[in-house]
Amino acid sequence: MTDETSALIANTFREAIDILDETEPAVREAIESGLMRSNPHRFDRFVGPTTTEVNAIRLRAFRRIYVTMASFLPAYKDIDLDRTIRAIAAREQKSVHMHILRAAMAGLSNTDTAHVIIGSRRLNGVNGLTEQTRRCFSRLGREYLQRRRANMGSLTD
């Protein structure tokens, strides 16, 4: 399984996760600044704009990921890349909104809210909401590699 296509698949998914990781400082800044500008007693006024700003940052990353993947990955009939990435993005957007809203209702500070979404820096973000998205792309990468392995096996028979 060390052929060039398998290596390309692995590198493409590694790059996708790196693209997501690049957005995390901007997301952290958007959450912290959005919450600092707000009145703590009127969380309904900042949750929407903060969520919109965070989702815009992540949506640009998802678009870059799609362009990268669509240009480098082989096409498989049973994996619709566009629909899969859209589903991952929609799931993350909904989760981000709900987590920011819950954190605001619980009275968490802006830094604590950012930790809920991004995770703590000390743990490299593995305890944040965005880790779920990274894991989705890791699973999708494994699925692509399994398809590659299955296709290679059918060619040798």
Q: Decide which of 61 and 105 is more confident.
A: 61
- How many Cβ atoms from other residues are within 10 Å of residue 86's Cβ? 13
Domain locations along the chain: 4-156
Q: pTM surpassing 0.85? A: no
Radius of gyration of the chain (CA): 18
Please name the residue ranges forming H helices in the chain.
4-36, 44-72, 81-106, 110-118, 130-156
Model confidence at 157, pLDDT cuts 50, 70, 90, reads very low
Cα 87 to Cα 18: distance, rounded to the nearest angstrom: 19
Cα 93 to Cα 109: distance, rounded to the nearest angstrom: 21
Pair of tokens at residue 34:
């959005």
Model confidence at 63, pLDDT cuts 50, 70, 90, reads very high
